[in-house]
Each structure stands twice: as C-alpha cells, then as structure tokens.
Amino acid sequence: MRWVLHVDLDQFLAAVEMLRRPELRGKPVIVGGRGDPTERAVVATASYPARAFGVRSGMPMHTAAKRCPDAIFLPTDPDTYNAVSEQVMDVLRSFDVPVEVLGWDEAFLGVTTDDPEAFARRIQQRVREETELDCTVGIGDNRLRAKIATDFGKPAGIFRLTAENWFAVMGERPTDALHGVGSKTKAKLAALGIHTVDQLAAADRDMLAARFGPVMGPWYRHLAHGRGETEVAATPYMARSRSRETTFQQNLTEWADVEAATAELARRVSEDVAAEGRPAVRIAVKVRFAPFFTRTKSAKLPTPTSDPAELERAALAVLREFPRDRPIRLLGVRAEFARDSHAG
C-alpha cells in the first residue's frame, strides 16, 4: 500500500542549538530575535521544557520571559539552521523515495510498504545516527492526515491516522485541531453551533457556503472529513516568497522614518529575490501598530521583476494604503513568486 509519511524535526531550532551546546539539553531554551527578552522580538522556537511553561512560537519574547523566567534565551542563526536542514533532507532522500521538502524542519515522503511503522522507525534511526536530531513521523493515507498524525506523535514518536480511525481520533476534537481552521474561523463556526470536527463534518453544505463563501464553506467540511491530496512530488524545495522584517525597539512615529525603513527592507528583499533567480510577481507590506495590532496589504506587480527600484517603489505604494496616525512597532516587506516559477 502507498502511504504518505510526514517527518517533522522536534523543537528544531532549539535542538540545533543543543548540538552546539550539549549542556542545554533538558533545559528551557527559547530561540528568537537577538536572544534578548528585553527587546521587541518574538519566539521562533521553544524547547519542550520551555513549552511546559506555556511558551509558544510567535509569542513576544518578554511574555515568554515572564512565563519562564529561568529560560536560556538564544539568538536565531538562520545560516546554521539551513545547513543542518539540508543535512537532514539528504538523509531522507537516501531512502530513494519521493521527498517533498516543506521547510527547514519538515517534509513529506511517498512510501510504498506493507509496514509503514517499520519504515518510520528506520527514518528516525537514520536521522538520529547521522544528525543527532530526533524527529516525529506521522503516517497517513493522504497528506492532511499524515501531517495531523505528527501532532499526536510528538515528541519523537510515530502515529498513524487514516480514514479508518479518523473520526475516532478527531471527531470530538475542536474545529481548530484541523490545519486550516484558525481561531477566527473557529469562533465563526461556534456561532453556528459547530464546535467539534464531527459537527463540522455533518454540517449542511449550503449553510457553510452561505457563511464562508461557495469555495471556503464546502472546503471546511472537506477538511473535517480528513480528505486531502495523496501525491508527494519529489521536487526541490522552492520558497514561495522572500521577506524581511524589523521590530523597532522604539515605536516609529514620523512617517518619513516609516518610509525610510520600508525602503530599506525592500532593498534587502530585492537582494534575496536576485539570489533566488526568480522574479517577484507580488509585493506585500506588514505593519504592526502599537501596542500589537497587525495588518498586511499586498499588490500585484505590473510585470514580474527583480529590479530593486521597482520593488522599492511597489512597497512604498502599498505602504501608502496604511493609516499614518498610529505608532508603528514592526515593519515587514515580502516579495512573492509565481507558483509555477523555476530558478534559472
């Protein structure tokens, strides 16, 4: 039988830091920003001991410090994480099966076997032997179920989730246990009396379409049944976008400073776009107003481009769509590539 396996490296960034500093093993480690919890930055990854205190990715560093005051804070090191990730993906490719890389710390594998658990154990063993890292493997009959299965296997475990046990495992769980249902959608579903995966799977299609639109409404019901794609494409990982952002230690209040910071971010993004070897087709600007209100706006570029001047001009044009009367604590610029573009 053909299976989809989802391999997810456990506490990846923190685990890489522990490879360099073994004395950190078993301790609450938080990676983010420049490693200073007094600065404005967010948590990139927290080790499992830190997560026990309620620390989560995306949480402000100062909040993480309050929840886990004894944590060890470390700065992010993307170059090292990239190198270690490549090493892990090479290990996965050594199994001679399709490997679809999703990012630094996860990938899908398409595997034909009568014993997927045994195959998963071989993956875990080889990854551990060659990289000293632990991973969790989710086994599914499609990509959606494999990815969700990983959540049940953490840490360093194996879990199988298929059509056979989907509702037994997922039925009574809240709707946001489904990848693709966030907190806002969960609240909207709750307003319709839909609180669990079982209830969403049984919901009326027309009612969902009326509330969420003719595409998204039925899609949420589709998710609740655990349906998803089964193919794993053995293609190199290609980023869908390149982005840069800056959190300011002091809020920006002068619009000229906001424009200058956006232009600088756009120039840095243009360097990433040039290195990628693919033109951008869309530009987006992210603004976080004080105290913590975030909005993102984007615009399609007139023509695909890697021209720094064009990307800067487009970013500043998008920036003008934001109000100017509120202090700004974070700015980000993102260049998006065409979905079917290929590196030259």
As annotated, the active-site residues are 106
> For residue 248, which of 143, 320, 330 has the smallest C-alpha distance?
330
* Separation CA 203–CA 221 (nearest Å): 7
Torsion sign over Cα 195, 200, 202, 206: positive
Dihedrals φ, ψ of 109, to 5°? -125, 135
Both tokens of residue 4? Answer: 């989809």
CB 336 within 8 A of CB 278: no
CB 164 within 8 A of CB 182: no
Q: 76: alpha, beta or left, given left = phi > 0 and alpha = psi -120 to 50? A: beta
CB 109 within 8 A of CB 98: yes
